[in-house]
Amino acid sequence: MSRFPDQFVWGAATAAYQVEGAAYSGGRGLSIWDVFCKTPGKVFNGHNGDTACDQYNRYKEDIAIMKELGIKAYRLSISWPRIIPNGVGQVNEEGIANYDRLVDELLENGIEPYVTLFHWDFPYELYKLGGWLNRDVAEWFGEYTKIVVKRLGDRVKYWMTQNEPLCYIYYGHYEGSMAPGLKLSWKETLQIAHNSMRAHGNSVMAIRSASKLPNIVGCASNGRYASPYSDRAEDVEAAQQYMFGTNIPDKFTVSMLHEPIIFGHYPQSMWDTHGAHMPEIEDGDLEMMCQPMDFLGINIYAVLTSEVTSIGPCWITLNGRRVIPCVWG
């Protein structure tokens, strides 16, 4: 029987807005998700994260359950507006002390904290200043990163700058089904992606400079994933195009976000397809976003199987039925 390697880490992950609760306690500021969830018609039955799992108050119980389950690592996210209620400026001591307690409790129970700095709960006050369309967002995010890492970097080794930027960029600002619920132009959406990757790079630099421990830094991404039905060249090519191709006018693939932060440039095929909509790139932007990382995290929800047939590329679902893909992610 195959075994997981000894260095494989068994863990669990959450997002601050999904589990913390205490949305209006402890000096926390508003996030775009607080506002989005209270907007009629945006979320099923008006559900929100006001209480959620109440981890803010019940973290000791949660960690005791993790320990009982044998979990060795916990990926948590920090709520930016809990640390800095207005997104920039005055730091909320009560908010950052919450994460002191959480990290200490994890370590006392033999659980390694993996910290994500941004999991979509963007400060509402900064959203009103243009949010991710504002070039200053890279500096805002860098300053926030420094504050968190200076406080927790004597105990936390593993850091992720952002979780699934594709989702908050595409679904939050173009398709409109996630916070902040906008339906911007494709050019504006690509500009947001560009600023997001600049913010990622600035955050990496801030972690490196502020951490007190040897740090392991990356980001957690997602995308569209496919596996070839066979080793035929056309099936392999279909899978590659589905995952990495940039020639679909208004769809994101992993290459569009990963190539700039890993290789320091946008794919040529992206320029060919999206030329008129490509972001405004200033001197130093690509250098800022392309910072050396120690790992690239990938969140995988499903993998489609690609096969080229007489009707063109198809994707085979688990029951074997050939369908043209229409999936999120």
Residue 329: per-residue pLDDT: 37
Cα within 13 Å of Cα(206), Cβ side: 25
Mention every residue, 6+ apart, whose C-beta is less than 8 A from residue 105.
59, 60, 63
Strands of the 226-228 sheet, one edge to the other: 226-228, 304-309, 312-316, 322-323
Residue 243: per-residue pLDDT: 82
pLDDT tens for 174-233 read: 999 999 999 999 999 999 999 999 999 999 999 999 999 999 999 999 988 888 889 999
60-74, 207-221, 247-261, 270-284: segment of lowest average pLDDT: 247-261
At 328, is the secondary structure helix, strand, or coil? coil
205 closest CA partner among 161, 155, 164, 250: 161
- Of residues 6 and 31, the one with the higher pLDDT is 31
pLDDT band, very low/low/confident/very high, at 309 (cuts 50, 70, 90): confident
What's the average model confidence in pLDDT over 18-32?
98
Residue 328: per-residue pLDDT: 42
- pLDDT exceeds 90 at position 2: no
Distance CA 111, CA 73 (A): 5
pLDDT band, very low/low/confident/very high, at 137 (cuts 50, 70, 90): very high
166 closest CA partner among 261, 272, 253: 253
- pLDDT exceeds 70 at position 322: no
42 closest CA partner among 54, 52, 32, 29: 32
- CA 178 to chain centroid, in Å, comes to 13
At 147, list the tokens. 């504050």
- pLDDT exceeds 50 at position 153: yes
- pLDDT exceeds 70 at position 316: no
Phi and psi of 318, rounded to 5°?
-60, -30
- Percentage of the chain with pLDDT > 70? 94
Read off the pTM: 0.93
**Residues β-bridged to residue 227:** 305
70-74, 244-248, 251-255: segment of lowest average pLDDT: 244-248
**Residues β-bridged to residue 305:** 227, 316
Distance CA 249, CA 117 (A): 31
Residue 302: per-residue pLDDT: 80
Q: What's the one-letter identity of residue 82?
A: R
pLDDT tens for 84-132 read: 999 999 999 999 999 999 999 999 999 999 999 999 999 999 999 999 9
Residue 288: per-residue pLDDT: 99
Distance CA 66, CA 72 (A): 8
pLDDT tens for 53-83 read: 999 999 999 999 999 999 999 999 999 999 9
Q: Are 123 and 86 in contact (CB under 8 A)?
A: yes
DSSP-derived secondary structure for 265-311:
S--HHHHHHHGGGPPP--TTHHHHH----SEEEE--S--EEEEEETT
What's the average model confidence in pLDDT over 4-17?
95
Residue 323: per-residue pLDDT: 59
- Of residues 119 and 304, the one with the higher pLDDT is 119
Alpha helices in 158-293 (DSSP H): 165-166, 172-173, 186-210, 233-244, 254-263, 268-274, 285-289
What's the average model confidence in pLDDT over 147-176?
98
Q: How many CB atoms lie within 10 A of CB 292?
A: 8
* Residue located via tokens 């999120």: 328
Mention every residue, 6+ apart, whose C-beta is less than 8 A from residue 280.
191, 194
- pLDDT exceeds 80 at position 319: no
Considering the chain, what is the average pLDDT of its residues? 93
- pLDDT exceeds 70 at position 31: yes
> What domains are there in the chain, each with its CATH number?
11-224+250-301 (3.20.20.80)
- CA 208 to chain centroid, in Å, comes to 19
Distance CA 128, CA 30 (A): 11
